[in-house]
Amino acid sequence: MTSANAEPLLLARNLRRVYQSRRGMFGAPSLVRAVDDVSFDILPGETLGIVGESGSGKSTMGRLALGLETPDRGSVRFRGSPMPMPSTAEWRTLRQRMQMIYQDPLGALDRRLPVLTQIREPLDIHHPREHHGNQVKAAEMLARVGLSREQGARYPHELSGGQRQRVVLARALMTGPDFLVCDEPVSALDVSIQAQVVNLLIDLQTELGLAMMFISHDLRVVRQISKRVAVMYLGGFVEEGDADDLFASPLHPYTKALVSAAPQARSTNRHERIVLTGEPPNPANRPTGCAFHPRCGAAMPRCKEEAPALVPVGRERRVACHLYPAATSDQTRAA
């Protein structure tokens, strides 16, 4: 959570989302805690990066933040008000202020319509009589995301992946949102194109004062765009803090391994490569105690029995690991 005094735009408390899974047609059903007791704030204009391996619960977290899914426990508040139930009129109104950018822009676009029409669509829905004004605003947005008029007349399959992601971004911005959830938005793009789209996101964020949740497995990209970062493992935050500090001096053994494996994400090359052993455990068969203990080189007997809480460690850092006792409020102030 942030320690700043500004009022959070989004405030999530103790979120839990549980799914039922079944192995094969006749397997016994089991419960998977995709997100488990996660709390965070996002301030206006701030980007919170969420990193972690596949299956860590990052995407579920994004859907909970947008109200696309209802938590089984916990709450989300946006601008101080509880998130309305999905598909209600109140929720549809609020969704204009909150938008999602997915990994696959082709899947998010209609292949039968020129892209400018699709950028205009959100305005047409809310202001159907203002066709000309909507068209002018859509053309302005097209230019703002770096696409030409001629590209606006094309169909999605006639554009490159990076151009399509620009179209999706332009359409998301047409309703003037305050908050974007970007779920692996550049993972499917070439590295050179990734940088262009990330730079565009940073420019737009600065210009429009957008807050973002930026979800990615790629620490390099998260490092570039995020003010704060949360590291997820098996449905929970294991470390959260200022992005520069966290990448320069990771504390949790899992974060250390991730950062050591992505040298371009960290500020210096001081960290030795730490190779994570084993695969992430099956979420339906969660290890006891600290969920990371089967892969942790620093595990102690206590780690198999007792799950560590996410506690403040130093200034603006929270860590869930028995190696780090919680800082007292005096220590936190002095750090």
CA distance 184 to 200: 15
CA distance 3 to 42: 11
Which region among 125-133, 154-162, 183-191, 289-297 touches ligand SF4 (by CB under 6 A)? 289-297
Long-range contacts of 263-267 (CB under 8 A, 24+ apart): 264/220, 265/219, 265/220, 265/222, 265/223, 266/223
Which region among 135-143, 146-154, 268-276, 316-324 touches ligand SF4 (by CB under 6 A)? 316-324
Residues 245-274 that bind ligand SF4 (CB under 6 A): 252-253
Identify the residue among 212, 296, 310, 327 touching ligand SF4 (CB under 6 A): 296
Q: Would you state the structure tokens that stand for residue 52, as one six-digit string?
A: 């972690």
CA distance 35 to 18: 7
Q: Would you state the structure tokens that stand for residue 267, as one six-digit string?
A: 């500020």
Interaction of residue 180 with ligand SF4, rule CB under 6 A: no
Query: Min. distance of Cβ 322 from ligand SF4 in angstroms?
Result: 4
Per DSSP, 264 falls in state: G
Query: Min. distance of Cβ 277 from ligand SF4 in angstroms?
Result: 12
Q: In terms of residues, how long is the chain?
A: 335
Task: Say if residues 77 and 83 touch (Cβ distance below 8 Å).
Answer: yes
Which region among 24-32, 173-181, 221-229, 290-298 touches ligand SF4 (by CB under 6 A)? 290-298
CA distance 97 to 66: 10
Interaction of residue 322 with ligand SF4, rule CB under 6 A: yes
Give the 3-state secondary structure of residue 131.
Answer: helix
Per DSSP, 304 falls in state: H
Query: Min. distance of Cβ 252 from ligand SF4 in angstroms?
Result: 6
Best CA proximity match to 318, nearest among 41, 8, 15: 41
Query: Min. distance of Cβ 296 from ligand SF4 in angstroms?
Result: 3
Interaction of residue 310 with ligand SF4, rule CB under 6 A: no
Q: Would you say 40 or 324 has its CB closer to ligand SF4?
A: 324
Task: Say if residues 231 and 239 touch (Cβ distance below 8 Å).
Answer: yes
Query: Min. distance of Cβ 295 from ligand SF4 in angstroms?
Result: 8
Identify the residue among 10, 292, 317, 327 touching ligand SF4 (CB under 6 A): 292
Determine which helix (DSSP H) or strand (DSSP E) holds 180, and give its type and residue range: strand 179-183
Dihedral (CA of 278, 289, 238, 194) sign: positive
Interaction of residue 323 with ligand SF4, rule CB under 6 A: yes
Q: Would you say 95 or 293 has its CB closer to ligand SF4?
A: 293
Q: Would you say 193 or 323 has its CB closer to ligand SF4?
A: 323
Which region among 1-9, 50-58, 271-279, 297-305 touches ligand SF4 (by CB under 6 A)? 297-305
Identify the residue among 293, 316, 318, 327 touching ligand SF4 (CB under 6 A): 293
Judged by CB under 6 A, the number of residues near ligand SF4 is: 14
Interaction of residue 32 with ligand SF4, rule CB under 6 A: no
Residues 207-246 that bind ligand SF4 (CB under 6 A): none
Interaction of residue 299 with ligand SF4, rule CB under 6 A: yes
CA distance 146 to 144: 5
CA distance 87 to 107: 21
Diameter over CA atoms, the chain: 69
Interaction of residue 290 with ligand SF4, rule CB under 6 A: yes
| CA 148 vs CA 19, 117, 138: distances in Å | 44, 14, 12
Query: Min. distance of Cβ 256 from ligand SF4 in angstroms?
Result: 10
Interaction of residue 298 with ligand SF4, rule CB under 6 A: yes
Q: To which residue do tokens 């909150």 refer?
A: 98
Q: Would you say 180 or 232 has its CB closer to ligand SF4?
A: 232
Q: Which residues are at the interface with ligand SF4 (CB under 6 A)? A: 252-253, 290, 292-293, 296, 298-300, 303, 308, 321-323
